[in-house]
Amino acid sequence: MERKKKTGGSKLFLAIRLIVVAAGLIWACIWLSQEGRFGRLVGIFRQLNPLIFIVALAGYIAGQVAVAFRWWILLRTQGIFISLGSAIRLVFLGLFYNNFMPGAVGGDLVRAWYVTKHTEKRFEAVLSILVDRIVGLVGSVVIAVVFYFLLPGRKDIDLAMGSDSFGSLSLYERIFMAAGLIIAVSVVILFVIPTTRRIMQNLWIRGKEEGLKLLQKLGRAGVLYRKRPVEVTATLVLTIALQLATIAGYWLAGRQLGVDVSISYYFVFFTLSWSIGMVPLTVGGAVLVEGSLAGMFVKFASVGAEAALALALCQRIIWMIASLAGGWIHLAGAHLPKDFTLEEGDKTG
C-alpha cells in the first residue's frame, strides 16, 4: 500500500512538471507566431557558423567529461573505486535521462542506483553525488558573483532591481506570487488534508528514529571529505574552470546569434540560469532555464528577444546532441554491472 502511495506521488509530481513544460512551450509557440518573430528567429539561426557551433558543442562535451572526473575524485575520497570510464559513461547516461527520458528517475538517481549496486558504501555513494551537485552549484555562484562586479551595466542593473525600495518587487512579482502559491498549496496538502497529515506524522516518528543513524553516517562521510581538502578544493577549481570554458563556447556562438555583449554577462546569466534550472519544477530544467536565460539578456543586457531566445535554444540543442552519447550507452548496455570496474580493496586512491 505504501509503495502504491509513493508511486502515485511520483506520478503526480511528474505530471505537474510536464504540465509546466507544456504550458511554457505553448506560450512560446504563441509568442513566436506573432509579429513575424518565428521568421526572425530562423534568420538568426542561419547566421550561426557550423564550425562555431561544433566548437561550443565540443566544449560542453569536454565539460561533461570533467564533471565525471570530478565525481570520480569524490567517490575515491569516500573509498569507492570505479574506473574513470565507468564514471564518464554514467554521467552521459544521466545526461540522456535528464534530456530525453521525462520520467521520475533523473540523471542523478541513475548514477546513484548503478553505483550503489557495486559497493556496500551506499550512503557514501549517494552522498558523493549530492556533494558533486553542491560543488557545481558553488562554482556557479562564485562565477556569477565575481563577474557581476565586472558587468559594464552593473549600475543600471542595480537601479532596475531597485534595491532601495519595495518597488523592486514589481520586477519579480510574478515569481514571488508563484512561489507563494506553491508554498501555500504545499502547506495545505501536507498539513491540512487529513490523509497527508497522517503521512507527515508517520514520517516524523520514523524520521526521529532514523535521524540519528543518518547523522552518524553523514558525520563519518564528512570527516573523510575534511581529511582530503586538496581533493575537494581541486574539484571546485576544476568546476570553475570547466564552467568558464563551457560558457566561453556559448559566447562565441552567441556573438553570431546577435547577442554581442560583454562576456561578463554570459558568465553571470548562464550560471544563474543553471542554478535556477536545478529547481525541480520542470523536466531537465526545460523552459525554466531558457526562460530565465533569455529574460536576463533581454532585461539587463538590452538584447533583442529573438536573439536571446536563439541563444537559449542553442544551449538546449547542444545539451540534447551531447546527450545522444548516453542514449548509445543505454542501448549498448555499456552502463550495466558487467562493464564496471570496481576496486573496493584498492586503498591507494
pLDDT of 100: 79
Tens of pLDDT, residues 281-310: 777 778 889 999 999 999 889 899 999 999
Q: Is the predicted pLDDT of residue 107 greater than 60, yes or no?
A: yes
How much of the chain, in percent, has pLDDT values that exceed 90? 27
Please indicate whether residue 223 or residue 18 has the higher confidence score (pLDDT).
Answer: 18
Given a contact cutoff of 8 angstroms between Cβ atoms, the answer to whether 135 and 236 are in contact is: yes
How much of the chain, in percent, has pLDDT values that exceed 70? 65
Q: Is the predicted pLDDT of residue 128 greater than 80, yes or no?
A: no
DSSP string, 172-236: SHHHHHHHHHHHHHHHIIIIISHHHHHHHHHHHHHHHHHHHHHHHHHHHHHHHHHH-HHHHHHHH
N-terminal to C-terminal alpha carbon distance within the chain: 44
Helix/strand/coil percent split, the chain, to 5: 80, 0, 20
Cα separation, 21 vs 288, in Å, equals: 8
Give strand pairing partners of 342. 82
Q: Which residues contact residue 233 at a Cβ distance below 8 angstroms, ignoring those fewer than 6 apart? A: none
3-state secondary structure of 172: coil
Given a contact cutoff of 8 angstroms between Cβ atoms, the answer to whether 11 and 104 are in contact is: yes
Integer-rounded Cα Rg, in Å, for the chain is: 22
Q: How confident is the model at residue 52 (pLDDT cuts 50, 70, 90)?
A: very high
Given a contact cutoff of 8 angstroms between Cβ atoms, the answer to whether 339 and 90 are in contact is: no
pLDDT of 44: 93
Q: What is the mean pLDDT of residues 230-244?
A: 84
Q: Is the predicted pLDDT of residue 5 greater than 60, yes or no?
A: no
Q: Where is average pLDDT lowest: 29-38, 86-95, 111-120, 248-257?
A: 111-120
pLDDT of 188: 56
Reported pTM: 0.74
Please indicate whether residue 227 or residue 240 has the higher confidence score (pLDDT).
Answer: 240
Q: What is the mean pLDDT of residues 111-122?
A: 72
C-alpha dihedral, 111 to 113 to 119 to 125, nearest 10°: 50
- CA of residue 294 relative to chain centroid, distance: 17
Q: Which of left, alpha, beta for 99 (phi over 0: left; psi -120 to 50: alpha)? A: alpha
Q: Which residues contact residue 205 at a Cβ distance below 8 angstroms, ignoring those fewer than 6 apart? A: none
Tens of pLDDT, residues 21-37: 888 889 888 988 888 88
Please indicate whether residue 203 or residue 116 has the higher confidence score (pLDDT).
Answer: 116
Please indicate whether residue 40 or residue 202 has the higher confidence score (pLDDT).
Answer: 40
pLDDT of 138: 86
pLDDT of 155: 57
- CA of residue 85 relative to chain centroid, distance: 22
Which cell goes with 267? 558568465
Q: Is the predicted pLDDT of residue 253 greater than 90, yes or no?
A: yes
pLDDT of 249: 94
Given a contact cutoff of 8 angstroms between Cβ atoms, the answer to whether 271 and 143 are in contact is: yes
Tens of pLDDT, residues 54-81: 999 999 999 999 989 988 888 887 777 8
Residue 110 CB neighbours (<10 A): 23
- CA of residue 63 relative to chain centroid, distance: 14
DSSP string, 194-209: HHHHHHHHHHHHHHHH
Cα separation, 59 vs 52, in Å, equals: 11
Question: Angle formed by the axes of helices 122-148 and 107-116, to 10°?
Answer: 150
Q: What is the mean pLDDT of residues 317-326?
A: 92
Tens of pLDDT, residues 88-100: 988 898 888 888 7
